[in-house]
Chain A
Amino acid sequence: GIQVEQSPPDLILQEGANSTLRCNFSDSVNNLQWFHQNPWGQLINLFYIPSGTKQNGRLSATTVATERYSLLYISSSQTTDSGVYFCAVQNTGGFKTIFGAGTRLFVKA
Chain B
Amino acid sequence: DAGITQSPRYKITETGRQVTLMCHQTWSHSYMFWYRQDLGHGLRLIYYSAAADITDKGEVPDGYVVSRSKTENFPLTLESATRSQTSVYFCASRKGGAETQYFGPGTRLLVL
Most buried by A among B43, B58, B92, B106: B43
Q: Which residues of A contact B42 (CB under 8 A)?
A: 86, 99-102
Where chain A touches its partner, the secondary structure class is strand
Residues of B62-112 contacting chain A, CB below 8 A: 88, 90, 92, 94, 97-103, 105-106
B interface size (C-beta, 8 A): 26
Q: Which residues of B contact A1 (CB under 8 A)?
A: 59
A interface size (C-beta, 8 A): 22
Determine the distance from Cα of A31 to Cα of B33 in the docked complex, in whole angstroms: 15
Whether B58 pairs with A30 at a CB distance below 8 angstroms is no
Residues of A15-37 contacting chain B, CB below 8 A: 30-31, 33, 35
Interface membership of B50, Cβ < 8 A: yes
Q: Which residues of A contact B106 (CB under 8 A)?
A: 41-43
Q: Which residues of B contact A88 (CB under 8 A)?
A: 43, 101
Whether B99 pairs with A31 at a CB distance below 8 angstroms is yes
Whether A48 pairs with B97 at a CB distance below 8 angstroms is no
Whether A48 pairs with B99 at a CB distance below 8 angstroms is yes
Interface membership of A63, Cβ < 8 A: no
Contacting chain B: which of A64-72, A73-81, A89-97? A89-97
- Report which B residues bind A (CB closer than 8 A): 31, 33, 35, 41-45, 48, 50, 56, 58-59, 88, 90, 92, 94, 97-103, 105-106
- Report which A residues bind B (CB closer than 8 A): 1, 30-31, 33, 35, 41-43, 45, 48, 50, 86, 88, 90, 95-102
